[in-house]
Structure 1
Amino acid sequence: MPPTATVLAGDCTTEFIPATDDRRVHRGRVVVLAKPDRTLLVHDRSGYQPVAWLTRADSLTVEADDDGFAITARDGDRTLSVRSHGAGETVEVPISAAGTPVGECPDSDCGAALVRTGGDVVCLGCGDAYGLPAGASVRDDATCEDCGLPVMEVARGEQFRLCIDYACDSLTDAVRETLDRRFDCPDCGRDLCVREHRGRAFLGCDGYPDCETAFSVPAGTLAVTCLCGLPRFETATGVRCLDGTCERERETGTAGGDGT
């Protein structure tokens, strides 16, 4: 289940004590929103700007009973507190990430919307989340034949179409079929092998640990070969050598490479 936010409303005194001595106090009928990341927002009747706020505080406490409520957020030397005058209203509501719709959860017990938010695809119902590799685009017109989740397109040497669930389709395995042992280590001449670290594929020398040469695989497709012998990749920001520090990169760009 998604986490909950606390919404409080009533005649309140709001006090904000910053790190300086500029203490600010407001009184009025406001709506207070306490988010799961310990962000506290206090809104009055006008505009989108809060009367007071504290973002991702170190601590946030809410106390409520029949006589009213009090909520306090602290972040270092800063404190934001809201105290109601009278009972007021308090309610817990489910809240989730908001993003671009990309399909529906294939779980028959859920079926809620799937949205892309930042680097993840998240289910608004069961809360399942799937991390996406850099540069991936999620298709809204294709689903995985095995699990029913959306399919993504991602470039790592070649353009791949894979399930967003790593358990279904391994991006590292796809990259391995394309790039494994295809190029030589520029330092010792041995093969560059596709390996994985924290879910990310990279090319590392087969001579490890004697040779620790390694390169991350850019989000792009293979272009011409650099004059240094390593591959170049066509990326969203231009063509670049696998070695981001390559001194022959500019020379290759001028000469056009060998076209392989």
Structure 2
Amino acid sequence: MPETIRVFAGDCTTTFEGSRARTQRGRVVVVVKPDRTVLVHDADGYQPVSWLTRPDSLTVETDDAGFGLVARAGDQVLRVRSHESSGRAEYPATEAGVPVGSHPRTGEPLVRVGGAVVGLDSDATYKLPAGATVLEETCEDCGLPRMRAECGAAFELCVDRACESLDDAVRDRFDGEWTCPDCESPLSVVRRGGRLLAGCSAYPDCEAAFAIPAGVVVADCDCGLPVFETARGRRCLDGTCEAFGG
């Protein structure tokens, strides 16, 4: 579920101890984010008059007389003490992301935030493979957005891996396609240590294994392994291959 942003307003004295040492008083709005970041805004401009980003500790006290808070990060301390409180409130808050549709079951908005598609009103989270693009089309089976991911080839799948598995798609396409350079056994597509690998099928007798990069196969390397076109240019499946400066 969404976390909350706390908002306090009133006639306050703000004291900062540290590199921006100063004391100010005015009718201000104090914003406390879920990561404990504190912002103190007055009537002018967009820049806060005082702030402390992700402090190590934060103490907030409220009573009928008003409110006060102390935020600390190393030798920096931000103190806010109200003389007269205009009010305080708490609101649901999430990270802002790129809209990618709505959840087919809950109807909540879905947004892309970094490497995941998340729901604004729940814990719904669908992690995306590196470099994946979320498409406008939706999955015919579950209604969630589809994505385009490159992992040896370009695959279009549901963002929910429980609905369509990228691992299975890569395995169906490339399992046994390449040969181990150490023992000439087929390379199998496996997930090991959280990574998708082309690992020797003779494991554990042969421990050769190569992480499959985000990109598509475009050629064969002199070493016999495939060459991938990635966002950073061409590279061999073997990241240490001397043909590509490894």
Q: Shorter-chain TM-score: what band?
A: over 0.9
Distance in 2 separating the partners of 1:192 and 1:8? 60
Distance in 1 separating the partners of 2:75 and 2:205? 50
Is residue 232 of structure 2 the alignment partner of residue 237 of structure 1?
yes
Instruction: Check 1:80–1:105 CA distance in 2 against 1; reply closer, same or farther (3 A cut).
Output: same
Superposition deviation, residue 188 in structure 1 = 2.7
Superposition deviation, residue 234 in structure 1 = 1.6
Is residue 12 of structure 2 the alignment partner of residue 15 of structure 1?
no
Instruction: Check 1:65–1:161 CA distance in 2 against 1; reply closer, same or farther (3 A cut).
Output: same
Which residue type is aligned with residue 68 of structure 1? G
Which 10-residue stretch deviates more, 195-204 or 55-64? 195-204
Q: TM-score, normalised by structure 2?
A: 0.93
1:148 match: secondary structure: coil
Is residue 144 of structure 2 the alignment partner of residue 146 of structure 1?
no
Task: Answer yes or no: is the 8 Å Cα contact 1:69–1:88 preserved in 2.
Answer: no
Task: Answer yes or no: is the 8 Å Cα contact 2:199–2:209 preserved in 1.
Answer: yes
Superposition deviation, residue 199 in structure 1 = 4.8
1:129 corresponds, among 121, 125, 135, to: 125
Q: Which residue of 2 aligns with 1:256?
A: none
Q: Which residue of 1 aligns with 2:86?
A: 88
1:176 corresponds, among 151, 168, 171, to: 171
Superposition deviation, residue 238 in structure 1 = 2.2
C-alpha root-mean-square deviation of aligned residues, in Å? Answer: 1.7
Task: Answer yes or no: is the 8 Å Cα contact 2:13–2:81 preserved in 1.
Answer: yes
Distance in 1 separating the partners of 2:79 and 2:138? 48
Which residue type is aligned with residue 119 of structure 2? C
Distance in 1 separating the partners of 2:127 and 2:74? 32
Q: Deviations over 1:190-237 (max 9, x none)?
A: 222111146531212223334332221111111110001110112223
Distance in 2 separating the partners of 1:197 and 1:71? 47
Task: Answer yes or no: is the 8 Å Cα contact 1:97–1:122 preserved in 2.
Answer: no
Q: Which residue of 2 aligns with 1:202?
A: 197
Superposition deviation, residue 82 in structure 1 = 1.1
Q: Which residue of 2 aligns with 1:49?
A: 47
Distance in 2 separating the partners of 1:106 and 1:183? 40
Distance in 1 separating the partners of 2:51 and 2:199? 47
Q: Deviations over 1:22-76 (max 9, x none)?
A: 6322211111111111111111122222212111222222211211001122223
Distance in 1 separating the partners of 2:107 and 2:36? 29
Instruction: Check 1:189–1:100 CA distance in 2 against 1; reply closer, same or farther (3 A cut).
Output: same
Superposition deviation, residue 165 in structure 1 = 0.8
Q: Which residue of 2 aligns with 1:254?
A: none
Which of structure 1's runs of 4+ aligned residues deviate more than 6 A?
Answer: none
| Structure 2 gap segments, 5+ residues each | none
Q: Which residue of 2 aligns with 1:213?
A: 208
Which residue type is aligned with residue 49 of structure 2? V
Which residue type is aligned with residue 13 of structure 2? T
What pairs up with 1:33-72 in 2 under 5 angstroms?
33-72=31-70
Task: Answer yes or no: is the 8 Å Cα contact 1:172–1:200 preserved in 2.
Answer: no
Task: Answer yes or no: is the 8 Å Cα contact 1:218–1:233 preserved in 2.
Answer: yes
Which residue type is aligned with residue 125 of structure 2? A
Identical-pair percentage: 57
Which residue type is aligned with residue 146 of structure 1? D
Q: Which residue of 1 aligns with 2:107?
A: 111
Distance in 2 separating the partners of 1:198 and 1:169? 21
Instruction: Check 1:42–1:209 CA distance in 2 against 1; reply closer, same or farther (3 A cut).
Output: farther
